[in-house]
A and B are shown apart, each in its own frame.
Chain A
Amino acid sequence: MTFGKLTYLMRIPVLPLFLALFGLVLSAHAAPRKPAADAEVLERLPLRAGDAGARELAALRSAMTAAPNDAAPATRLAQRYFDLAMARGDPRYVGYAEAVVARFGEPLPASLRFTRGLLRQYRHDFEGALADFAAAVAIDPDLAAAHAWRGAIYLVQADYAAARNECDALRRLGRGMLVGACIGLAQAYGGQLEAGYRSLQQALVASSDPDNRLWLLTRLGEVAAWRGESALAERHYREALSLGRDDGYLLAAWSDFLLDAGRPAEVVKQLAGWEASDSLLLRLAEAEAALKSPAAARLAQALDERFAAARLRGDTTHRAEEARYQLRLRGDAAQALGLAAENYRVQREPRDARILLEAAIAARDGAAAQFVRDWLRSSGFEDARLRRLGQESALGRSAYLEFRSAGR
């Protein structure tokens, strides 16, 4: 079964589940109670026992149980869980996958070491993940995916030279399409938007798989928007949407594009039914707030509860989004700046840079965004909006200094 078919099958019960979940968010914190009737439905499960997805998982689980010391079935099960976590945005599956890996003692075989790397990067343990991928490659030099992941992590950390080393490793392994995607992003982030756009475009021409095309089109949309070519960006996003596949990242990028363009009504229409995803709920709440709709307060409250639940368990992977929530929906610039700065220590992509600059400007604390201005200078990243924000954040500081020296 292809990945696409699997996600399609699994998505069927997702929408009602999301709606039920959202209802539960609103009715949360009820007091413990004893239901009156045995027939009362308390919970709807994401998978029914008879579903194809559930049957496949059951088969993978029993294969692992039948050969508990064999890494191959364990790896298959763990990777299926990981794919499920990606497709449905449900972190419980990541925990299931970690538990499968944890059944094996050190040293882990290459496949499980690689899998553990996937799970570690999910939790933003990037150093641990880089080490796992490096160890997996040391055991199995042909493991292109491990190079690809290392490249992706270096891009997030804004270490473009290291990312390019991984792209080179992929080229040596003859993985043409991976090379195109890897180089394209490294170029775009590293100050060569036009070259990056061309690399991604070439990869798109060579790719027929709809999942790959969707991803490449999304990134082309982002790069075009950074270059200020709004009409071209919209064309890429619309082509990606026309593939008819639900994709959280595409929807988030397209929503951000529409919000930047002052078209919140279209965001509301596009994201109907996606409230269960934290990142999309954030965009939806921003759009409703821009429209001054009565739903805005309810959505902001739901977001607040989700961030609170994550904080309770010490989860810090949401800081970039929480910063955006604090800045744009709560108007708390100081709180937003703290979160954005913490996030920027871990993740340094253009969107992370942007929220830090915006928070620093709002909090009138230009010094807090010095790292971003350093990055803009060293990378030469070409997005006009970010460069303007960078100048504004620095301007605030020097204007302040001027004011002080004039006052003296």
Chain B
Amino acid sequence: MMLRRWLLSLLLLLSLPVLAHKASDSYLVLDIKGATVSGQWDIALRDIDFALGLDLDGNGEITWGELRARQADIDAWALGRLTLLRGGGCSLQVADHLVDSHTDGAYAVLQLAGTCPGGGGELTLTYRLLFELDALHRGLLRLNLDGTTQTAVLSPERAEQRFSAGEVSRLAQFGQYLVEGIWHIWIGFDHILFLLSLLLPAVLVHEAGRWRGVANFRQALVEVLWVVTAFTVAHSITLSLAALGLISLPSRLVESAIAASVVLAAANNLKPLVEHRRWMVAFGFGLIHGFGFASVLAELGLPQETLVMSLLGFNLGVETGQLAIVAVFLPVAYALRATGFYRRGVFVGGSLITLVIALIWLVERAFDLKLISA
């Protein structure tokens, strides 16, 4: 037996960790805004089985029914090994039970909800899941505390850890939201298409039923400035009102109206109804787009203590993204304005394509269907 052990040891030491599986980890994601806690905790079914015994019929398989039957025990076991302190002990409940897969098998997913006595300051987290049974178990934590994301590995040696949100400066927070704003305009195709639909005719003049290029750059620039400024002012108003919680509209209505605004803007290029005061169109629909930006901001979460700075940062980010689009678009469009390629291909063709895409969006969003976009 001794030789066997020694031989086994050599097998191992020869830098061959025969890791068919990985060691035990749980994945804990916590989102704490002020006193409100939400989160998700993924715990391997194998680990729950080792601690509590899930395989009721002893056939070596864990079914959804077997897991469901033990949900109350699992909740009590897990929540009894996780403590959050913020101005006192936070209460935690399991809001829903799901399952998921990670690289080493199936996991129970506990969706967490709770409240803390204190709405600010330091958070103390104590994690003791499985440590008494598996000393190599680790809790992999991703914590979003008042808008600041931090990660940590929770181990028996570092079971209790403290986190504070105040470590991120206001400037850094401002910068973070600025980047989010730029990013959102870049990935928000509906906003870009709306803006482009209004900008496409800026280098053209409609006269006697025909389009021709504007006489000089100044004329185009003035038109663009009016449109962009009107759009900006309008969506800033509604974005702020919605982000501050003063107005709230159902997202399906907002998203459908945004799609409709793109349809109308593109259609107006093909059969002009509004020719001169496009800035008014930009302003009117800009109000709707502002609500769309606000829903993104709501997903990001606005930290209460830096509310105004973050809102300003996000808004400026959106403007920066917009200006970048204009800065690329305008010189190119101006240079090409007299060509047939621009007037027929880009202006008419582009407006047609935009119209079709926006119509599909409109149908999708209004009737809650999935046609082209996720």
Contacts and interface: CB of A to CB of B under 8 A. Distances in A.
Contacts of B49: 43, 45
A387 to B, nearest CB: 20
Contacts of A49: 55, 58, 60
Interface in A214-250: 215, 247-249
Interface residues of B, number: 67
Interface stretch (B13-21, B241-249, B279-287, B325-333): B13-21
B18 A89 contact: yes
Interface string B1-24: 111111111111111111111111
Interface stretch (B82-90, B93-101, B172-180, B270-278): B93-101
A21 interface: yes
Given A41-B63, A92-B136, A148-B6, A315 B23 contact: yes
B263 to A, nearest CB: 32
A338 interface: no
A273 B91 CA distance: 47
B65 A31 contact: no
Interface in A12-35: 13, 18, 21, 24-25, 27-35
A268 interface: no
Contacts of A211: 4, 7
A208 to B, nearest CB: 12
B106 A24 contact: yes
A33 B101 CA distance: 10
Contact of A278 (B5, B18, B63, B96): B18
A40 interface: yes
Contact of B103 (A28, A34, A215): A28
Interface stretch (A104-112, A174-182, A367-375, A392-400): A174-182
Interface in B23-59: 23-25, 40, 42, 45-47, 49-50, 55, 58-59
A209 B9 contact: no
Interface in B172-231: none
A309 B64 contact: no
Contact of B20 (A101, A178, A277): A277
Nearest to A214: B7
B109 interface: yes
B2 A145 contact: yes
Contacts of A18: 20
A98 interface: yes
B305 to A, nearest CB: 31
B67 interface: yes
A374 B153 CA distance: 38
A89 B19 contact: yes
A8 interface: no
Interface stretch (B126-134, B308-316, B365-373): B126-134
Contacts of A27: 101
A118 interface: yes
A301 B4 CA distance: 35
Interface stretch (A288-296, A329-337, A347-355, A377-385): A347-355
Interface residues on A, range: 35 or more
B21 A90 contact: yes
A153 B13 contact: yes
B61 interface: yes
Interface in B129-154: 131-138, 140, 153
Given A43-B45, A91-B23, A95-B23, A152 B3 contact: no
A48 to B, nearest CB: 4
A102 interface: yes
A38 B63 CA distance: 6
A92 B63 contact: no
Contact of A152 (B13, B55, B64): B13
Given A28-B102, A28-B103, A43-B61, A312 B19 contact: no
A351 B16 CA distance: 10
Given A42-B45, A152-B6, A177-B3, A278 B20 contact: yes
Contacts of B133: 95-96, 99
B374 to A, nearest CB: 13
A199 interface: no
Contact of A3 (B4, B13, B136): B4
Most buried by A among B47, B104, B136: B136
B170 interface: no
B136 A94 contact: yes
Nearest to A143: B2
A249 B16 contact: yes
B30 to A, nearest CB: 16
B99 A33 contact: yes
A250 B212 CA distance: 80
A309 B22 contact: yes
B15 A314 contact: no
B60 A32 contact: no
B237 to A, nearest CB: 36
Nearest to A305: B103
B120 to A, nearest CB: 30
B70 interface: no
A305 B19 CA distance: 13
A44 interface: yes
B3 to A, nearest CB: 5
Interface of A: 3, 13, 18, 21, 24-25, 27-35, 37-51, 83, 86, 88-92, 94-96, 98-99, 101-102, 118, 121-123, 144-145, 148-149, 152-153, 155-156, 175, 177-178, 181, 185, 209, 211-212, 215, 247-249, 252, 276-280, 305-306, 309-310, 312-315, 317-318, 320-321, 343, 347, 349, 351-352
In the A-B complex, the 4 residue pairs with the closest CB atoms:
A38-B65, A95-B136, A98-B135, A89-B18
29 contacts: A3-B4, A18-B20, A28-B101, A30-B101, A32-B111, A34-B97, A35-B64, A38-B68, A42-B62, A43-B61, A43-B62, A43-B105, A47-B60, A48-B59, A89-B18, A95-B136, A99-B135, A121-B12, A148-B2, A152-B10, A156-B15, A277-B20, A279-B19, A313-B22, A313-B23, A313-B25, A315-B22, A318-B19, A351-B14
Given A28-B102, A91-B17, A247-B11, 10 more contacts: A34-B98, A51-B60, A95-B23, A95-B136, A149-B9, A211-B7, A277-B19, A310-B19, A313-B23, A314-B153
